[in-house]
Every structure is written in structure tokens, then in C-alpha cells.
Amino acid sequence: MAKITSVRGFRDILPDETPKWQGVEEKIRKTFSKFGVREIRIPVLEKTELFKRGIGEATDIVEKEMYTFLDRGNEYLTMRPEATASVIRAYIEHHIYEKDPVAKLFTIGPMFRRERPQKGRFRQFHQINVEFLGQEDPRIDAELMFMLMCLLREAGIDNLKLEINSLGCDTCRPAFREKIINFLKDREQDLCDDCRRRLLTNPLRIFDCKNESCREIIAEAPVVMDFICGQCSEHFGKVQEYLELLRIPFTVNTKMVRGLDYYTRTAFEVTTQSLGAQNAVTGGGRYDGLVQMLGGPDISGIGFAIGFDRLISMIPDEDTSYIDRPDIFIAALGDKAQCFAFSLCNTLRMAGVRTEMDFSNRGLKSQMKRSNKLDCLRTLIIGEKEMEEGIAQLRNMSDGTQEPVDINDAEGIIKRIQLS
């Protein structure tokens, strides 16, 4: 029979890796709880219209990366390519703002985009999303970024760079957009092919082109900062002040732009050197018009998405804080001892001790090997002699020392394990 493999870009996360995922998630949840961020769980499937309206018709995501299909009910559905639109949909649908317009929400789960896979990029990938809704104060921008940097540090990752920018709001951005298009049109012949195309689709993206002649042009181009309105400028200034107050290192990157249409004002990105070309670990920003755009009241919001897969891949394998080894292995010889050990093994487990044993009925040597392979901290050796005397040998696998223990005193064994 031919083997059936997983779908391209969809991968299995194997038991050797899951402890990292669980460990990081646990740390992140603790941080969220300190900041009063509560979990919301949302569906993986949404009506296609949600993303068209939320992310923007003309974006690459909506144009060519979504898993969309016609459902039997004759309705177009889409595997979500991002979470913010869904969170806002739920916030509106359940009238969460009626009870309290201020909401701090997070959600964790898989997203789907049909791109060509490469290092750090999969068709099913995982994001940790945070949305702070109902507050426009620049302190909320700073607090969100502060929390983000805290939780990345707690996950054991450093060497990160926080870059921020302001994209302006609905009133000042169109003017800037027009300015930049005019500026670039005059120099169109010096732009690369990609950028000439971008001029029509998404002119702001030309800002992060790597082509040298494009960069030269960009260097002289007008910057968002020079065009944003008074309020946006003041907001951005305050955000920087508060970031400094909270001692968060950052750099202003006036060329940073975002690929989703809903972003306004503050935009930010956390990047690293260690991921190859896909160097963004987190991207986020303010989206003051999104709630209204999705049919809700005029409520502002700001949020970010952490690329969970990328985050995990940055944790060095030497980081031992995520490994989880058995406390004890019971090596039992002979039917009587095996029987006794089977019972003891499960008693220890119920008492919270991570216990392993082996039913193959092989010799002590191979059971010791298995204990070693499983990286058990200790081995309890119970042979026929020990069964008769009621005294087993508790061996420390790192230094090879052994001590006698009373096999009928499970509590005594547990205490000894928990002490060392």
C-alpha cells in the first residue's frame, strides 16, 4: 500500500517537541494573567466575507493565500488566515462592549495560509494573539508592547529587536499615500519590476524593498512621519515616552509598513537574527477603525500576533528548562516482583511521581538500559531476593549510588524521591 503523508506545509509536532510548546504556553498564560488578559476561544472556520472586509480585498492574504471553499449550504467559508478579525467579530456578536467596552483578550491557535513553505513558514502555523479593545490612550500601546517583551523574555528568548512606526489615521494616511505615489511615479523607471507592480497594489510596501536602486529612491522619499496629523503625531510621541518610562528598548523605523489593511497609527514588529529570512516573531499595531468596519460601534483597538512556531524554533535545544524526565524506573525480576512492581508503579503515579517500568520480563541489564534510555533519575531494583526480604535497592542513575528502601512503605519511597 502506498504511504499517505501529511499535506504540504502542514506538519506534525512530535512528542520530543511538545514539552517546549506546553512550557512556553504555560509561561505566557501566567504573564497574561498578571496583565488581566483573558482567553477567548474562537472557531477556525469563518465566513469568507469576514476576512475580505477585515483584512482588505487587495491584500495578498485575501487575494491568493486563503483556504476558501463553497460549503454545502452554498456559502463561502474560509480557514482563518489570522485571528484578529475573528476576535473582533466575536466581540461584536456577543455585545461584549455593552458590558464593558474595555476588553483585554488573547487567543491561541492554528492559522492557515496557502503560501510556499520555507524556513519558519508553514501553511498551518500557530499564533498567540492579543487584542486590547476600547482604549485609545498611548499608555495602552506602551503597556501592550511592554507585556509582549516581558513574555518573550520569560519564554527564554533574547536578542530581539522592537521596531515601531506610526502609519497615521484615516484622515492623514490618504494624503501621504498620494504624496508617495506621486513621488515614486516620477522615478518609476528606476524601480525594480516588483516595485513597479507595488506602485499599483500596495505602494507603501516599496519601503522595505531590498533592491539597491529602490533603496536609494526610498532614502529620499517623504516619510509618513512628516505627513501624519497633529493628533497622530502627538499619540506617537507619547507612545515613545511611555516606552522609555517602562525601559523598553526600541527603534523607530519609519519605513516599516504592515501587510494588513486595518492597521492605523502605532505599528510594531519584533524581529530576530536567528530565523533566516522569515525574521518576524511578532507583528502588531493599532486598528482604530476595524470594529466599526465589521459592523460594531466606533471602538478602538490594538493588538499583536506572535508566531508560535517561530518562537519555539528560537529556543535553543540546550535550554533544559523544558525537558521533563521520569523520577523513577522500577526494574522488577520474576513474576512476583513484576506483579508487585506493577501495583507500586501506579501507586507512585497517583502520588504524583513520574514512574516508568517495563513489562518485557527481560533481565536486569536490559531493564537498566531502558531506565537509562528514558533518562530516569532513579531506578528501584526489585528482584526475588528483595521480595523475600522486603527491601529493595534505590539506585541514583547519575552517580550510581544505591540505598535500601522498604518496598512496603510507599510513602517512605515517595518522600525520598521528593527530597532529592
- 362 binding RNA? (CB under 7 A): yes
With CB under 7 A as the contact rule, the residue among 20, 80, 104, 258 that binds RNA is: 258
Residue number, 238 or 354, with CB nearest to RNA: 354
Select from 110-118, 162-170, 242-250, 411-419 the region that touches RNA (CB under 7 A). Answer: 110-118
- Round to whole Å and give the CA distance between 247 and 256: 22
What residues numbered 328-357 form the site for RNA, per CB under 7 A? 333
Q: Which of 278, 292, 338, 347 binds RNA (CB under 7 A)?
A: 278
DSSP calls for 138-176? HHHHHHHHHHHHHHHHHTT---EEEEEEE---TTTHHHH
How far apart CA 319 and CA 83 sit, in angstroms, is 30
Whole-angstrom CA distances from 219 to 50, 184, 212, 214, 222 are: 37, 12, 10, 9, 8
Distance CA 56, CA 60 (A): 9
Say whether residue 283 binds RNA (CB under 7 A).
yes
Non-local (6+) Cβ contacts of 297 within 8 A are 97, 291
Among 174, 237, 363, 412, binds RNA (CB under 7 A): 363
CB of 79 to RNA, least distance (A): 13
Nearer to RNA, 3 or 99 (CB): 3
Closest CA to 92 of 285, 287, 298, 286: 298
| Residue 72 binds RNA (CB under 7 A) | no
CA dist., res. 370 & res. 27, Å (int): 32
Q: How far is the CB of 305 from RNA (least distance, A)?
A: 4
Contacts with RNA: how many residues (CB under 7 A)?
A: 65
Per rule CB under 7 A, is residue 397 in the interface with RNA?
yes
3-state helix, strand, coil in the chain (%, to 5): 40, 20, 35
15 scored as a contact of RNA (CB under 7 A)? no
Residues that bind RNA (CB under 7 A): 5-6, 8, 59-61, 65, 82, 113, 115-122, 125, 127, 194, 198, 202, 205, 209-210, 258-260, 269, 276-283, 305-307, 309-310, 333, 362-366, 368-369, 371-373, 381, 383-386, 393, 395, 397-400, 402
